[in-house]
Structure 1
Amino acid sequence: MEWLFDPANVIAILSAGLGVLTTAGVLWYERRVPRRKRIGYRVQMDTPIGSEVSRGRANVRLGLFNETPDMADATLVLLRIENDGSQSIGDEDYTGRGELNGLTVEFTDRTVRGIAVTHSSDADHLMDHFTPAAGLRHDGSIIRLPRVPLNRNEHFKLLVLLTGSHVGGPIKITGGIRDGAVARNKAARPDEKPPLFGRAARSITVALTACVVTLAGIIVVRDDSPPPMDCATGTLTVTGSTAFEPVLKELEQKYEEECEGADIRLDIHGSNAGVQKLDDEGAEAGPAGSPSMIALSDGPRPASLTKLREKRVAISLFSLVVNDAVPVTDLSLDQIRRIYRGDIRNWNEIRSGTDQEIRLVSRDANSGTREVFQRRVLHHTNELATSSRDCATKDYADAPVFRCERNGTDAVLAKVASVEGAIGYTELRNGEVPEGAHRITIDGTTPSVDTIGSSDYPYQEIEYAYTYGSPPANSLVAGFLNYMDNYGEEIMRTNGHLACSTPKGMRLCGQGWAVPE
């Protein structure tokens, strides 16, 4: 730290002192003036445990009720109910109807199947109140709780087994407290104690103190903010999928800006080339350990590369594009397959009056985008042999189709835009294609991140990140993968991918998602 004494610094120090004194005054006032009685509640867990659940990206079945169909959608909810006011609450403070009725818990669209009650270690007396005779009962989606006296800071927890819907449904606790309220608290760590002071006091003091101390810090002390927890130093090579390249470029730039000492190098040549390079480098490293490399792949690695460890990153969308001279905006799966088999060679067979030879502009054999196309769209059928090296003329006249290859997405798009009659494929990216080309739908279905998992659109696949073995927890490899999970969601979505780290993506990626064929 470097101290600089001048009049501005003196003013800053005085301002900081004023802020601290103001904070102390507000806190003193809070301790002297009683607050309202208050019961708060938190949803600390809401998780599936039925036969439909699977274990994250590893696709391991963990359902506790595999043999019980009516429990397939079973979920567990953990509620914490606490006295977080400044006064104790007795059974006479509850104003609910009925002699025994205290609070009511409602789980919308779910049915209560069982309840377990736990309590804090210093509140054994609470358990005497959780009996049917005391008023504990449940019916359908409702749990009725007895009038439980709670000293200040005391709490109890309800572990509830439910069926009838998936996680995330509304959960609400209602009831009346004389001269007080029942309110939901924001999420907190499972056993975190409720706040000592009121929200208004906390907000005022924190805001005032933060503003004044920040002013003093800017003027007096030079102290850089700590980097993100996922930051690590060293050099990392990221290779593989061209479809994921726009996402990787943005993440690389952000990571290097926020994490001093990290050098991330992109070496993008296609999914197959990337995973093969990772496997080769790992084998060469031998006992030295896992190389500082990540390979992104559109779809799973080849089965023979058994040393590669996978992490499911996103579900990626792809689309077909055609030259603007072709007046076609939609093709059926059958038409696409016939085009790529060579059964349809002129656009007039699809759109009368359009006399143009169909020219296929494809990716090379290293491309994961091409493999996804062959697997998902052509139904496990390979494309025909290349018949043109320059995408302008056939290398031999009797070739069944006009087909050329390019080694990158940008090169494919450029050729489709410049060659009349051309058709090719690309990842969705941000929805843009170059001037001279346009996207087409498949069987009338448009690719959209919003409809992944509910649409029959076939040209989509899981994006994998591979490492050679398990990288050390403090390595740049592990740090960048965690950073991708924590900060990459919006970047991925903008470029046509649904992140596996989102609630929807976690469910689809963890189930080994696949579209109908």
Structure 2
Amino acid sequence: MNRFPWEVILAVLGLLVPVAAFLWEFGVGRKRLGYRIQMDTTATDEVPYHHPGALQRLRDRNDRPLVHPSFVLLRIENSGLANIDTSDYAVPDGTRAGIRVEFPGRRVAGMAVTELSDDFLAQSFTEEAGLNVEDGVIELPRVPLNRRQHYKVLVALEDVRDDTRGRRERFDDPRVIGGIKGGVPRRRRGRIYQTQSHTGMPRYGLAMIGFLVVIITAQLVVFLNGGSAAPLDCARGRLTVTGSTAFAPALREAADQYTRICPEADFAFDTTGSHNGLVKLDAVGRGDSANSGTWLAFSDGPKEDGEFPQLLPRPIAYVLFTLVVNEDAGVLDLPLPQIKDIFKGKYDTWKQVNGHDVPIRIVDRNGGSGTRNAFEKLVLGTLTSGRNSNDCRMPLPGASKGVVRCERDSTEAVLDTIAKTPGAIGYSELGAATGRQDLKLVRIDGQAATLDGAEHGAYPFGETEYAYTYGEPKADSLAASFLRFLTKEIGRDIVHSHGDRPCADLQDPVRCRPS
């Protein structure tokens, strides 16, 4: 069962919510009429001053002096995306005024239109158009406003409250009454609404930023938990991986990554050598073909012709191997003929091949090893002799004399034995040997173990790593899914990180085809 696609849900939400908010804010409410009270202040002295000047000479429209004057600066604006026409004002037919402004507790002493966003708006401010002033009210005409147009009205007022306890410092806020028809958000029901100055962040803007921060954080959490790399073919079940010990480290890391992405998959490892792995897979398939799809065998190189006819090969990677010696040997480079003579037992000490005066001890892989088969085929060109020692230091009683030769059943065991045995030499998968400080890697004919060298024929010790299945696995099986995973980006990167090259990345694909 595939993992729930949280990253997709979060990405869709992160896209749809801002788009929906924009459409709601600017699409659903295309026509909007707004106002802003930019000033509402008294003109009385808070700090006594001997030269109040013109403030003492203020008079109303009936030439009466203003005793307690105050001023209001009102801005009327088109705050939507569509133009507002005279017919859009929500007033009864025949009504000339479109907006009514009331000033509780104050009388209108005078007013002036102080700012027009465009000069042609001036023709709308006439008494015939609906401009009118009453005691505590002004009526503004149905002014046509294109998008982003506005005008300002400055109103002089006189306090008319009769309060024996003294005058209050503040007046009730002016009441702006009006509205337009069609296209406004339901929550405002078409009425004129108070807009905010653009000097700060509006609340809906802060809410949107907070929402996006939450979405981005959630996507990061999903990504860090492996959600962003989920393949389309996650499979469930248990898969046993057998065969090559040389390629096992790369397979274990790939299996760990697969289970992080596909948690319903489980892996077991039974790697005891390439040939042993093929034998086990063939036995499982013959005994229970229905269960054969839960096994994979990996081999360093192809199976023998005619052997295990039911096992199907799939080339996975081109694997490099290297010669490895104990530090006491004193050699870092050997010609190919000397390597052959060393493993044939023609030399007793490293001094005979320009090394130190230390006995030569050979650490082989066991007979079922694909790494040993590759070494015999590609480097020696012949089979090696059998072992004559268990501890890799002294021959067994009654064993043939000459160079000490032992065998180990895994790549790790070979490397550990070489590291602690003076004069020991053996061979290993390159990735397993690289980075170990307790042994030395040996060049062949001056050529280090590199993929470029192997592809150009300069380095001889490289082989194709094959994955074997018993027959063709089902497309939705864990075996088939894991094989596909090894050839995709994550699996290919893991193979690269272990010093090997995925077959799809080879310059010469012929090197990686089944035999």
In the alignment, is residue 376 of structure 1 matched against residue 378 of structure 2?
yes
Structure 1 counterpart of 2:294, from 289, 292, 295: 292
User: What is the match of residue 436 of structure 1?
Assistant: 438
Structure 1 counterpart of 2:330, from 324, 327, 332: 327
Give the C-alpha shift of residue 351 in structure 1.
1.1
Give the C-alpha shift of residue 412 in structure 1.
0.8
Structure 2 counterpart of 1:501, from 504, 508, 513: 504
Deviation string, structure 1 residues 443-477 (Cα, Å, up to 9, x no partner):
00111124331142111100000000000000001
Q: Using a 3 Å threshold, how does the CA distance of structure 1 residues 20 and 226 change in structure 2: closer, same or farther?
A: farther
Give the C-alpha shift of residue 21 in structure 1.
4.6
User: What is the match of residue 164 of structure 1?
Assistant: none
Give the C-alpha shift of residue 230 in structure 1.
2.9
Whether the 8 Å CA contact 1:414–1:434 is kept in 2: the answer is no
User: What is the match of residue 85 of structure 2?
Assistant: none
Stretch deviating more after TM superposition (501-510 or 403-412): 501-510
Q: 1:280, 1:407 → 2: CA distance?
A: 21
Structure 2 counterpart of 1:406, from 401, 405, 408: 408
User: How many equivalent residue pairs?
Assistant: 317
Structure 2 counterpart of 1:358, from 357, 360, 372: 360
Q: 1:392, 1:453 → 2: CA distance?
A: 37
Give the C-alpha shift of residue 290 in structure 1.
3.3
Equivalent AA in structure 2 for residue 309 of structure 1: L
Equivalent AA in structure 1 for residue 284 of structure 2: E
Q: Using a 3 Å threshold, how does the CA distance of structure 1 residues 451 and 339 change in structure 2: closer, same or farther?
A: closer
In the alignment, is residue 18 of structure 1 matched against residue 21 of structure 2?
no
Give the C-alpha shift of residue 510 in structure 1.
3.9
Q: 1:413, 1:285 → 2: CA distance?
A: 37
Give the C-alpha shift of residue 24 in structure 1.
10
Q: 1:364, 1:463 → 2: CA distance?
A: 18
Q: 2:216, 2:326 → 1: CA distance?
A: 61
Give the C-alpha shift of residue 258 in structure 1.
0.4
Whether the 8 Å CA contact 1:16–1:212 is kept in 2: the answer is no
**Structure 2 stretches lacking a partner, 5+ long:** 5-11, 28-207
In the alignment, is residue 392 of structure 1 matched against residue 409 of structure 2?
no
Determine helix, strand or coil for the equivalent of 1:290.
helix
Equivalent AA in structure 2 for residue 468 of structure 1: Y
Compute the TM-score of the two structures, normalised by the length of structure 2: 0.56
Whether the 8 Å CA contact 2:14–2:212 is kept in 1: the answer is no
Whether the 8 Å CA contact 2:239–2:268 is kept in 1: the answer is yes
Give the C-alpha shift of residue 432 in structure 1.
2.2
Q: 1:505, 1:24 → 2: CA distance?
A: 59
Determine helix, strand or coil for the equivalent of 2:392.
coil
In the alignment, is residue 308 of structure 1 matched against residue 307 of structure 2?
no
Give the C-alpha shift of residue 505 in structure 1.
6.4
In the alignment, is residue 268 of structure 1 matched against residue 246 of structure 2?
no
Deviation string, structure 1 residues 323-344 (Cα, Å, up to 9, x no partner):
1111111111100111111112
User: What is the match of residue 113 of structure 2?
Assistant: none
Give the C-alpha shift of residue 430 in structure 1.
5.9
Equivalent AA in structure 1 for residue 403 of structure 2: V
Q: 2:25, 2:503 → 1: CA distance?
A: 48
Structure 2 counterpart of 1:464, from 457, 466, 473: 466
Q: Using a 3 Å threshold, how does the CA distance of structure 1 residues 418 and 290 change in structure 2: closer, same or farther?
A: closer
Q: Using a 3 Å threshold, how does the CA distance of structure 1 residues 385 and 433 change in structure 2: closer, same or farther?
A: farther
Determine helix, strand or coil for the equivalent of 1:272.
helix
Q: Using a 3 Å threshold, how does the CA distance of structure 1 residues 301 and 465 change in structure 2: closer, same or farther?
A: same
User: What is the match of residue 477 of structure 1?
Assistant: 479
Q: 1:377, 1:439 → 2: CA distance?
A: 15
Question: 5 Å matches for 1:239-254?
Answer: 239-254=242-257
Structure 1 runs of 4+ with >6 Å offset: 12-15, 23-27, 222-226
**Structure 1 stretches lacking a partner, 5+ long:** 3-11, 28-207, 513-517
Q: 1:443, 1:23 → 2: CA distance?
A: 72
Give the C-alpha shift of residue 215 in structure 1.
1.4
Whether the 8 Å CA contact 2:363–2:408 is kept in 1: the answer is yes
Compute the TM-score of the two structures, normalised by the length of structure 1: 0.56
Give the C-alpha shift of residue 364 in structure 1.
0.7
Q: 2:291, 2:327 → 1: CA distance?
A: 51
Q: Using a 3 Å threshold, how does the CA distance of structure 1 residues 492 and 427 change in structure 2: closer, same or farther?
A: same
Determine helix, strand or coil for the equivalent of 2:504.
coil
Q: 2:372, 2:247 → 1: CA distance?
A: 14
Decide which structure has the larger Cα Rg and report it: 2
User: What is the match of residue 426 of structure 2?
Assistant: 424
Deviation string, structure 1 residues 255-304 (Cα, Å, up to 9, x no partner):
01100210111111110110110011000014x36331010000001332
Q: 2:412, 2:330 → 1: CA distance?
A: 23
Q: 1:510, 1:435 → 2: CA distance?
A: 35
In the alignment, is residue 237 of structure 1 matched against residue 276 of structure 2?
no
Equivalent AA in structure 2 for residue 324 of structure 1: E
